[in-house]
Structure formats: structure tokens, C-alpha cells
Amino acid sequence: MKIKIVALGKIKEKFLKDGIDEFVKRLRPYVSLEIVELSPIEIKDENLTGKVLDEEAEKILAQIKPQSYVITLEINGKMLSSEELAQKINTLANDGVSEIVFVIGSSCGISPKVSERADFKLSMSKMTFLHQFARLILVEQIYRAFKIIKGETYHK
């Protein structure tokens, strides 16, 4: 199985890069993980937010294969425990899904076009996180999921 994270924006803070790199390294024995960073489009006029999100959607959707299982991170998505996320990933693997794509939108969210393509909408929390933090939390939770699936000791 392959996991791809499509995210708008670059990680600038060294401590976040280091954390993400650490979990990507830890994931190597379990899964092939790719992070695709796309440049967000600057919104100069709030009235154009929808248009900008649709332009970003084209970039995001270009990264997704027709057969990929897409999980978008959305405020109104379903919250899962770490165990439930592990179960979801394991079920998808057992069902023969070859690629899971997680999508992290820009600070303005994601276009309805991307949301409609999602096979599952995931909410990380009722709290709001910086998108850079969301990426770190997501890779840690994917790592935790694989440790749970394998019955290993990381998860407590």
C-alpha cells in the first residue's frame, strides 16, 4: 500500500520539518509514504475565495488517481480515535486499496470539488490547528495506526 499526503503550503519551521521527517522515516518499514506540497494561491480579495479554492482544487485533483481512496481533512468530517483510524487503514489494505491519499487544504479550507471526490471526510478535532501542525499530527497518527495494526508497543 502507498500513502500520499497532498498538502497546500510548505513547512517553514525547522522543528515541524524535523518532526515530520522523523515520522516519515519511522513509517518506511510499514508503508510507502509520499508528501506532495502544492503552492497555495494568495487570496487578495475575500470575494474571490471560492474561485481560488477551485483553482487549488485543480492542482489537488491532478495528484489523485481515479482508483485512489481519498481522505480529506475537513472541519465537518468524522472524528476517529487512533484505533478507529488504524482499523480504517487496515480494512482498506485488506480490501485491496493500493493508494490512500490524504488531502490537507489551505488556510481557507478545500473546494467543494475536492470534498466531493473524497471517499471519507476526516476531522482531526473540534479545535483549529495551523495547517503545518495538521501535517505533523497526521503523519504521527498514520505511524501510530501502523503500530496498532502490527500490535507493536508505540501506542498506549
Task: Say how many domains are in the chain.
Answer: 1
Residue 85 lies in a domain: yes
Name the residue with higher pLDDT: 122 or 127: 122
Amino acid occupying residue 133: F
Question: Could you give phi then psi for residue 110, rounded to 5 degrees?
Answer: -130, 155
pLDDT at site 66: 96
Q: Which domain holds residue 107?
A: 2-150
pLDDT at site 80: 98
Residue 156 lies in a domain: no
Instruction: Return the CATH number at 117.
Output: 3.40.1280.10
Residue 123 lies in a domain: yes
Residue 93 lies in a domain: yes
Closest by CA to 85, choosing from 143, 130, 127, is 143
Cell numbers at 154, concatenated: 508505540
Residue 155 lies in a domain: no
Residues 6+ apart with CB under 8 A from 80: 88, 122
Output the CA–CA distances (angstroms, integers) from residue 67 to 4, 31, 34, 82, 118, in the order listed.
Answer: 13, 18, 17, 25, 12
Give the lowest-confidence range in 19-23, 60-64, 125-129: 125-129
pLDDT digits (tens, 9 = 90+) for 31-72: 999 999 998 877 777 777 888 898 999 999 999 999 999 999
Question: Could you give phi then psi for residue 73, rounded to 5 degrees?
Answer: -90, 115
Cell numbers at 40, concatenated: 497555495
Residue 124 lies in a domain: yes
Q: Kind and range of the H or E element at 88?
A: helix 82-94
pLDDT category of residue 84 using cuts at 50, 70 and 90: very high
Residue 11 lies in a domain: yes
Q: What pTM did the predictor assign?
A: 0.94
